[in-house]
Amino acid sequence: MKDLRIRVRGQVQGVGFRPFVWQIAREAGGKGEVLNDPEGVLIHIRLADPDGFVAALGDRAPPLARIDAVEVSDHRFAIEPLDFVIAASRGRGAETRVTPDAATCPACAAEIRNPAERRFGYAFSNCTHCGPRFTILTGLPYDRAQTTMARFALCPDCRTEYQDPADRRFHAQPVACPACGPRLWLEEAGSEVPGDAIYLSAGRLKAGAILAIKGLGGFHLACDAASPSAIAELRRRKRRPAKPLALMATLEMIARHAGMTPEDAALLADPAAPIVLLPKDGAPLPDDLAPGLSVIGWMLPYTPLHHLLLEAFGGPLVMTSGNLSGEPQVIGNDEAREKLSGFADAFLMHDRDIARRLDDSVERITPFGPMVLRRGRGRVPGTLPLPPGFEAAKPVLAFGGQMKSAICLVKNGQAMLSHHLGDLDDALTQEEYAKALSDFAALFDHRPELGACDLHPEYVSTRSADTSGLPLLRVQHHHAHLASCLGDAMWPLDGGPVAGIILDGTGYGSDGTVWGGEVLLGDYRGFERIAHLRPAPLPGGDAANVEPWRNAVMRLDQAGLAGVAADLFPGKALATIRAAVAAGFNAPLSSSAGRLFDAVAALLGFCPDRQSYEGEAAMRLEAVADVAAAALPYANENGIIDPAPMISAIIVGLRKGVPSSQLAGGFQSGLARAFAFAARETVASGKAKAVALSGGCFQNPALLNAVLAELRGVPVLVHARVPANDGGLALGQALIAAAESV
């Protein structure tokens, strides 16, 4: 017999790992104990076949477990073990990973539909394989007393399940049933409506009502996805004229309305249950769900409440964030009554508190596999391993950017990139950002020794970093994008320089101008800018970000086509913006690829006056682009990629009646060719070992595919687990600071 101490690190709390260990220890004839502590799971065991037991820990682990390390050493028992038991958790603090919320497992989904089960029709059924985790967690170790389930005392039946090692609810902290757990009700005009809340809610939705529904990470606003009038009313009330709406449906329903590959279906059914972007196909739904776009975001029901509601309703539902425009998602019942009463006809409420706001994750399938566009529920707080070479990195706190803000913590060889916190232009989002800084520090027992932030002095995130008291590294925006892609791809610290094609909206450049279309040669420790888009003024500053015609006029002027602007944009203040540019008044120079997308979209007639949401013009352009169109020409001299020839070709094409789809496709293909050429040459010269693609523009699959085609035969790194947009900046900042500390 051998006495061992086994430490298991990773995502091993809240996933049924202790009962799993108990089970395989009993099978192996082991004696001792298993327990949770701040570092993960700790096992003290006496047994005859240690190799077989340790192998089983990895081979047979529960579905939600993610094991980072299994450390085995000798042990001496102070008291002879007589049996193998699950011992009480020990210690406080957080060295282990916290499990993200997980979608309803098949067993629980079947149970709530079985009249013979005591949880038949119960909206809060869960077990060790599914249910709320991070959204109810208030502290570590992960035990019921440190969740928002603490106030729900277990009934005798639930306690029996909780204490039975043979039950799948053994030590499942959110375990509950109708006798002892949270309750659900429908509320109208401040009063509870008597009757079955699911049945009543489905009836309201069928009648065209808009409901506020309390989910895992916040409230959604829901309506019938097949009803043009309900969708129009939701848009009117929310003042959201065109931004696409997410839908929830069963897999069978989605297949009727969307093009879905087996890979898409697998991603939809992942325990994270993200929103997945799928092409419109099959039976049409109202175009007002995603006006002018070729894709719609779909998700499967991920709680018993959603399963029951969809089954009672019988069709797809709009399920969009419950919030005032630009504000964080609502999570509290009183907050919902206050802020959503102008939107919702009724509220589907429950009395389990939400510990923290989490938007739904958004993802899509690319030629490289799944790509995360927004990290949220189901993915956070899953950690990311640091690439080789970062083992000795000091603890780092990275403060992220201004748009799509997120923070990142580095500790013990892992990076914890937070969920999407929102745009920091909004005061309430700033409050949520400040809460996240303190929440994550406390929850993960994080004591950073270094801070990292953006170069831009006026970002709210930068000002937060300035008041942190930490030694700060100020990181150029696009260098952070490059490092984020390198980290996502696990590029080693000493892996050598890469050529980074960084295409996004705007970022503060090292030269004081606004960057956004660059080829950088660099790694985690530094970079040089070797090529970039020809800068153009942004007349009106921030106004150019929302009014695409302004960018189009500047690009026309650069192409020697100033006279065309009056024909394309009649009634616009052309003389005024040109005078401001000539005077250097509020017209910063920018090499932004995002603003070039806006300019071309405006030339082709896509929302030239004003965008109702960020990226609208570019997304409409993407939706119509003919990917087979011949590339339009760009000039390239001394590393300056000039779109003037492409602009001239578009004007010629418009005069000849060339379809907008061909011109849009030719613009994208030409852009891909111009940037890929500069990057390929850098690799061919031996200066770079690979090409990395980052920045929000690479969430456009047509552009991504075009660049990949131009780089065929060259090693290419792309984003997968970390957003290519500004939601991934904090990881890049953290890695650059960590590299400085090694």
pLDDT digits (tens, 9 = 90+) for 217-232: 999 999 999 999 999 9
Percentage, residues of the chain above pLDDT 70: 99
Query: How high is the pLDDT of residue 513?
Result: 93
pLDDT in tens, 617-661: 999 999 999 999 999 999 999 999 999 999 999 999 999 999 999
DSSP letter for 144, please.
G
Query: How high is the pLDDT of residue 166?
Result: 81
Answer whether 148's CB lies under 8 Å from 331's CB.
no
Give 528's strand partners.
Answer: 521
Two domains, one topology: 184-350 and 383-489+722-741: no
Confidence band, pLDDT 50/70/90 cuts, at residue 445: confident
Report the alpha-carbon distance of residue 653 to residue 413 in Å, rounded: 54
Q: Which of 707, 682, 680 is nearest to 693 (CA)?
A: 707
Confidence band, pLDDT 50/70/90 cuts, at residue 567: very high
Query: How high is the pLDDT of residue 97?
Result: 63
Confidence band, pLDDT 50/70/90 cuts, at residue 94: low
Query: Residue 39: which region, alpha, beta or left (left: phi > 0; alpha: psi -120 to 50)?
Result: alpha
Question: Element (H or E) spanning 159, and its range?
Answer: helix 156-163
Tell me which fold the domain 383-489+722-741 belongs to: Nucleotidyltransferase; domain 5 (3.30.420)
Domain ranges of the chain: 2-86, 184-350, 383-489+722-741, 531-717
Segment 342-366 shows an average pLDDT of: 96
Give 346's strand partners.
Answer: 211
Main-chain phi, psi angles of 628, to 5 degrees:
-90, 0
Answer whether 101's CB lies under 8 Å from 148's CB.
no
Beta-carbon contacts of 221 under 8 Å, excluding residues fewer than 6 positions away, are 210, 211, 212, 213, 234, 238, 318, 319, 320, 321, 322, 340, 343, 344
Query: How high is the pLDDT of residue 10?
Result: 87
Query: How high is the pLDDT of residue 16?
Result: 85
Please check the confidence at residue 471 and state whether its pLDDT lies above 90.
Answer: yes
Query: How high is the pLDDT of residue 92?
Result: 65
What number of CA atoms fall less than 13 Å from residue 447's CA on the CB side?
3
CATH of 2-86, one of 3.30.70.920, 3.30.70.100, 3.40.50.1580, 3.40.50.1820: 3.30.70.100
Answer whether 398's CB lies under 8 Å from 408's CB.
yes
Query: How high is the pLDDT of residue 187?
Result: 98
pLDDT in tens, 687-696: 999 999 999 9
Distances (CA, A) of 372 to 419, 423, 440: 12, 18, 21
Please check the confidence at residue 526 and state whether its pLDDT lies above 90.
Answer: yes
Q: Which of 674, 718, 671, 663 is nearest to 695 (CA)?
A: 718
Please check the confidence at residue 93 and state whether its pLDDT lies above 60.
Answer: no
Answer whether 165's CB lies under 8 Å from 23's CB.
yes
Tell me which fold the domain 531-717 belongs to: Nucleotidyltransferase; domain 5 (3.30.420)
CATH of 184-350, one of 3.30.70.260, 2.60.320.10, 3.90.870.30, 3.40.50.300: 3.90.870.30
Tokens of 455: 């170069």
Query: How high is the pLDDT of residue 464?
Result: 97
Main-chain phi, psi angles of 699, to 5 degrees:
-85, -5
pLDDT in tens, 702-712: 999 999 999 99
